[in-house]
Amino acid sequence: MNMLWLQSGGCGGCTLSWLGSEMGPLFATLRDENIDILWHPSLSEATGNEALDILRRCADGRQALDILCVEGSLLRGPKGTGRFHLLAGTGIPTIDWVKQLAARAHHVVAVGTCAAYGGVTAAGSNPTDACGLQYEGELRGGLLGADFHSASGLSVINIAGCPTHPDWVTETLIGLAQGSLDAAALDELGRPRFYADKLVHHGCSRNEYYEFKASAEKLSDQGCMMEHLGCKGTQAHADCNVRPWNGGGSCLTGGYPCIRCTEPNFEEPGHPFTKTPKVAGIPIGLPSDMPKAWFVALAALSKSATPARVKENATADRVVRPPSVKVKGKA
């Protein structure tokens, strides 16, 4: 399968994340799945007229284009012209290139939350009129329109994340190459279900603290960061803690709260990322699928049953009291 990768309005972090994968030798993996990178702005040797020739042949149909990957949001400004971002050497707005190539591609893939939903580039007053390929925040539309379907019949495939997990990208491409990724394999926001049907909360190393509502009070603490420090791991669709980044890490493992970066509009939560907004002492952002009354009752019961060890460790920067050892015959 031939893959073409364009970078638009963003930082390039999704490419850096992808290259940092420890899943295995990346290019050997792609080669084994018969995926050929026609061109990637950071990885390919072709530059200048050679690169433009590849793009032109894909756009006019002389070169088969199986997968179009777009990284970064699409910049429609000023006033819908797209001239804030011209493709170098062509004088043509990048959004026009994307429209032409998407019309030819068998599959269209948004790599990262910026390309999927607008992301950080669309935050604030959004002077560049940035949007996603098929979404503006959580609303369908974007550059290609709500009704867009590629030649495969699929809508845009949104590998959301800021940056996206390297294995999510590789597995999506392999799924397309093997013909196993269809409409049923995507969730309501176009994300591959193999990672989006899980929550960041699943597999979190702080789950014992969450169960007893033993909360961290500052970022260096060991406890759960939901109550005070803005963690949205119970609401974010991703498998970051089940599938650690590069074999060992995640935001939570590193001591930082989940900011829900796989979700539309994560970039503007309306409060500091490390603060939990509350009403009458109850966090506004409750865990997915949990009624407020149940959460209040469960939290009260859990806190009353918190072991002293868990409570003490929650507000420490290391484990100060390990679990007790039960010796047969002793209380």
What's this model's pTM, rounded to 2 decimal places? 0.92
Please tell me the distance from the alpha carbon of residue 283 to that of residue 257, in angstroms, as a whole number: 15
Please tell me the distance from the alpha carbon of residue 48 to that of residue 46, in angstroms, as a whole number: 7
C-beta of residue 257 within 8 angstroms of C-beta of residue 251: yes
C-beta of residue 275 within 8 angstroms of C-beta of residue 230: yes
Tokens of 5: 């990768």
Set out the domains of the chain in order of their start, with CATH numbers.
2-196 (3.40.50.700), 200-317 (4.10.480.10)
Taking only the tens of pLDDT, the chain with its 331 residues reads 999 999 999 999 999 999 988 777 888 999 999 999 999 999 999 999 999 999 999 999 999 999 999 999 999 999 999 999 999 989 999 999 999 999 999 999 999 999 999 999 999 999 999 999 999 999 999 999 999 999 999 999 999 999 999 999 999 999 999 999 999 999 999 999 999 999 999 999 999 999 999 999 999 999 999 999 999 999 999 999 999 888 788 999 999 999 999 999 999 999 999 999 988 777 888 788 777 776 777 777 888 889 999 999 999 999 999 998 888 766 5
Q: Facing residues of 71 across strands? A: 7, 111
Give the Cβ contact number of residue 243 at 10 Å: 18
